Amino acid sequence: MSLIENIIRPEIRALSAYHVQDADGFVKLDAMENPYQLSPKLRMQLGARLAEVAMNRYPVPTYASLKASLCAHFGVPAGFDVVLGNGSDELIAMVSVACARPGAKVLAPLPGFVMYAMSARFAGLEFIGVPLQADLTLDKAAMLAAIAEHRPAITYLAYPNNPTGTLFDADDMVEIIRAVGDSGIVIVDEAYQPFAPASFMSRLAEFDNLLVMRTVSKLGLAGIRLGYMSASAALLAEFDKVRPPYNINVLTQAAAEFVLEHADVLAEQAAALRAQRHLLGSALAALPGVHVFPSSANFLLIRIRAEGKTADAVFADLLARKVLVKNVGKMHSLLEDCLRITVSTPEENALFLAALTASLLPTSGP
């Protein structure tokens, strides 16, 4: 056997590394990022704040001031705290490690965020995927049956869901949370909460097994990598044990605290993107051969069924026109011929619409 075969777990060898498309020179609409930066004045003030950070010292590992600011600005109920992560990805990994008892399982609807399954496999957990219905809504009956059969330690419900943008029915989710009961936790992943009309954060006290996870990435802070999760004190204490002691660096902490002092700017940007989502969705729905799925996130999922065109061909043509979207057609059979488009500025949305319209034109014969 080779060195790699001797030391690397076979299930890890079978995986592919997470691929990120090079976006240099493209209109970048593939990663659900906020397209807006802070104003020049605020960037100057942020630079001055960061210049005062003591980078020669380790962070204060309690992160008390940052956690207090996050709780105050994002509606964490009184009496509840948060645990911080280097983005939601690290929080998902922490939960997976903490719950990785022999035979433990993770359950989530599919298609969904790929890191739920990947993190489960990294930790040696079995992942169970439950397909959504054809209209990309939650299949409650199938979820309840899977819970009864597998008794998962972790159940994920993204609210709204990535990559579909679907906001699952809240009553269905409550039924799932109650069905899991004290045999596992239910993680409501609210990464796209600024663009959605509802949240489970205010309902934490209702369910001992509920954990709400969020990130500041979609608010315009993707580059600083900061996620947070809230649950009962007993649950958070266990997950905090597997958190690396200095997992949030001093520059991330300083930047987040500064921007939260100007949370009104983030709220205005989110409102602008919600308005653009409506305008872009209407424009896409008017194109022949394009079906737009309802979205409560900062992206839109579309299905290409234009005559003589496939989503793969349209995606390739968009690339040639220097417009980068996400081709999700191979992620799951329910996403056949689907593309996911980040909602952006009016200018970038117009560039995308023009490129897509041209890409949908019938190909000329010889």
Task: Give, rounded to a whole angstrom, the gap between the first and last alpha carbons of the chain.
Answer: 55
pLDDT in tens, 41-77: 999 999 999 999 999 999 988 999 999 999 999 999 9
User: Across residues 252-258, what is the average pLDDT?
Assistant: 97
User: Whole-prediction pTM value?
Assistant: 0.94
pLDDT at 365: 47
Strands 210-215 and 227-230, by their bridges, are antiparallel
What is the side-by-side order of every strand in the sheet holding 326-327?
A: 290-292, 299-304, 338-342, 326-327
What is the pLDDT at residue 12? Answer: 84
pLDDT band at residue 364 under the 50/70/90 scheme = low
CA 294 to mean position of chain CA atoms: 17
Does the pLDDT at position 158 exceed 70? yes
Burial state string for 258-288 with b = 16 or more CB within 10 A and e = fewer than 16: bbbeeeebbeebbebbbebbeebbebbeebe
Half-sphere exposure of 236 (CA within 13 A, CB side): 17
Domains located in the chain, CATH noted: 3-38+264-359 (3.90.1150.10), 57-261 (3.40.640.10)
Q: Which amino acid, 226?
A: L
Residue 79, number of CB atoms within 10 A of its CB: 9
Take residue 232 and report the two structure tokens written for it: 């009962």
